[in-house]
Amino acid sequence: MKSARVLYANLSLRVRLTASYIALIVVSITVMGVGYYVKSSEVVLKNASGTYLGLVRSSNQSLDAKFAGVEQSAINMHLDEDLYEFFNTTNLQKKYFNYDNDRRITRVLQKYFPTSEDVYSVNLATKDYTFGGNPNFWIPKKDFSASDVYQIGMNARDRTLWIPTYNLLEKFYATSEVSSTKDKYVFTATRLVNLSLVSNNLLRPMNKDAERPILLVNFQESMISRAFKMSLVVKDAYYYVLTKDNEVVSTSNHLGSKPVSREWINSAISKKSGTEVIEVDGKKMVVCFDVIPTTGWLSTMFIPYNNLLKTMPNMISFTLYSTVLVLVLSVFVASIISSKITLPLKKLMWGIKQIGVGNFNTRIETYGTSEVNLIIHKFNQMNDKIQILIEENYETHLKEMEAELKALNFQFNPHFLYNTLNIINYLAIENKQMVISNMLVELSEMLEYTAKKSGEVSFGEDVKYLQNYVYIMRQRFEDKFNVEYHIDPELYRYSVPKFFLQPFMENALIHAFEDRETDCWIRVSGRIEDHTRVFTIEDNGIGMDPDMLRRVLATIDDPVSMSKSIGIANVNKRVKLIYGSQYGVEIESQRHKGTMITITLPLPSTRVLG
């Protein structure tokens, strides 16, 4: 023991540090390895279950997005003028056998429900006739009201009802010998369509004696199979989509019986989502389940417990290889660290403290081993370079600010121009009026302004660009909003940052009025107060509650948000870079009362434009 202590004391500091570090790592890794091996299987299995639950949730989210889109389209149909005109009559029978009328209704339905491989057909059914697509003629055109599907649709007055999967041939042609290789299994979203017409800002319902049609959206059962196909990666795993009444909507286990009871399904639905281990036909199964919000159906994935374990790595080999790898890395790291530690540490620390108080002329005499000489030599060189770097850093910072200012002026997203071209195209097809010519003139002026160099421009040019934009957006939103301008003429003598008003107008049109159709106004004001130019953009839109306002204000000075936005953060950053941090953008907003954006700029004495 004594000889060992003597040997250890005679070792160099580097060797002692390396040996101590390796010993500590070996003990720590050994203790951790044993504990890891004991708990790893359970933890990995739990994580694997969570992974497959994530796959189920992902598949559900994909399906729910499509189902929610159908429900929203069904709601939008209630205000369709063509459908209102067609069905708002007490004598529909005269229109039933007219092929042109059937095609007319089909085109209206395709507007709300575009053709998709997931959708088998979309129909509007009355008690005597069924309008819309009819692949393979498996949906009866007459006497559809005798089916239970029609009766369910009649009860769907306030919401969309979802009918589990059924065979079209068995449902409507029970005695027919018709056969086909195409999918015959569908599930249906149905709703009573109580049409209305908006006229002169008033909502006109259908005649009380007019028959309300039933919307039928028939989905291919195979769309659910496709959604879950990539999730079944474990051998013998299968999925079920079940209703609360234990009816099968879709499954990949066509030969087996229903694996769970109605009680278990109701319990799972109440939990919304999760993972459980249950017995199915005497086999231990891991069940990952999640509820589809739109339909209320339960998606489940059944994974054999033993097969799931086989997908896990060999814990003994994994622990052993990990320990060896860590030990090798530890030796390497310990050698590097110990080589940096030398006896004259106090001198080196003294030199560092001198630098900390700003004394960059500090010099340390070199002595000791070659490693220490190199460190001290580099330390002295560092002091010489710091003085140079301080001066260079100041110049570099100025150049970075200039480059950042230039980059900010090119961040504006061309998304608006694409929308404008779509509007002009729509008007060219539908109206063929002089409005198109006017819009082209406005757009050309905007493009000409956009092509100008970035930086500061005449305030009059920026206002003209804003007016061009407002004109086009009025065509898009069919004059549902008004814009007022209250601007001090004196302001037109000065320059302003390019595009500093339009982003706020765009925010108001897109966000503030999304829930309003009438009595929308935006007021653009400009005035001079105490050698400061003050511009405001005020609207009577939906406004923001305090929490949302705080989140928006937090993004103004956030560089990450600024780099992704062409609006508030971008304008605020450019104003501060050009004029100083005391100027910029402020926001005031109240829920259901509107929002006011205030932009402050200095009143320069040398920025007057001719």
CA distance 267 to 274: 11
Q: How confident is the model at residue 231 (pLDDT cuts 50, 70, 90)?
A: confident
Instruction: Calculate the average pLDDT of the chain.
Output: 79
Tell me the per-residue pLDDT of 587-600, one tens digit each, with 9 for 90 and over: 999 888 889 999 99
pLDDT at 487 over 80: yes
For residues 516-521, average pLDDT:
83
Tell me the per-residue pLDDT of 245-285, one tens digit each, with 9 for 90 and over: 989 999 988 777 788 888 999 999 999 999 888 888 888 88
Higher pLDDT, 314 or 195: 195
Higher pLDDT, 379 or 58: 58
339: tokens are 């080589």
Q: How confident is the model at residue 564 (pLDDT cuts 50, 70, 90)?
A: very low
- Contact between residue 286 and residue 303 where contact means Cβ atoms under 8 Å apart: yes
Residue type, 522: I
Q: How confident is the model at residue 176 (pLDDT cuts 50, 70, 90)?
A: very low
Among the residue ranges 271-280, 321-330, 453-462, 533-542, the one predicted with the least confidence is 321-330
- Contact between residue 361 and residue 44 where contact means Cβ atoms under 8 Å apart: no
For residues 20-31, average pLDDT:
74
Contacts of 278 (CB under 8 A, 6+ apart): 260, 264, 284, 285, 287
What DSSP string describes 145-189?
GGSHHHHHHHH-SSS-EEEEEEEHHHHH-TT-----SS--EEEEE
Tell me the torsion sign for CA atoms 133, 137, 141, 143.
negative
pLDDT at 242 over 70: yes
311: tokens are 């997908």
pLDDT at 407 over 50: no
Q: How confident is the model at residue 164 (pLDDT cuts 50, 70, 90)?
A: very high
Kind of pairing between the strands at 532-539 and 495-497: unpaired
For residues 128-137, average pLDDT:
78
481: tokens are 């909003």
Q: Is 40 helix (H, G, I), strand (E, B) or coil?
A: helix
Q: How confident is the model at residue 289 (pLDDT cuts 50, 70, 90)?
A: very high
Residue 358's pLDDT is what? 65
| DSSP one-letter code for 453 | P
Higher pLDDT, 412 or 519: 519
State how far the alpha carbon of 187 is from the alpha carbons of 183, 226, 292, in Å: 12, 15, 15
Residue 532's pLDDT is what? 93
Q: For the sheet containing 185-192, what is the strand order?
A: 130-132, 119-125, 214-220, 185-192, 161-167
For residues 90-105, average pLDDT:
74
pLDDT at 506 over 90: no
Among the residue ranges 139-143, 249-253, 391-395, the one predicted with the least confidence is 391-395
Residue 346's pLDDT is what? 59
Residue 163's pLDDT is what? 93
Residue type, 410: F
pLDDT at 63 over 70: yes
Contacts of 430 (CB under 8 A, 6+ apart): none
Q: How confident is the model at residue 6 (pLDDT cuts 50, 70, 90)?
A: low
Residue 141's pLDDT is what? 79
For residues 312-316, average pLDDT:
58
Q: For the sheet containing 520-529, what is the strand order?
A: 481-487, 520-529, 532-539, 594-602, 584-590
Tell me the per-residue pLDDT of 466-486, one tens digit each, with 9 for 90 and over: 888 888 888 777 778 889 999
With 0.75 as the threshold, say if the pTM is over it.
no
Residue 89's pLDDT is what? 83
Q: How confident is the model at residue 36 (pLDDT cuts 50, 70, 90)?
A: low
Higher pLDDT, 153 or 331: 153
Residue 65's pLDDT is what? 92
For residues 539-568, average pLDDT:
72
Q: How confident is the model at residue 190 (pLDDT cuts 50, 70, 90)?
A: very high
| Secondary structure element (H or E) that encloses residue 222, with its range | helix 222-229
Q: Among residues of the chain, what percentage have pLDDT more than 70?
A: 72
For residues 40-59, average pLDDT:
77
pLDDT at 390 over 80: no
444: tokens are 């050309």
560: tokens are 């990450």
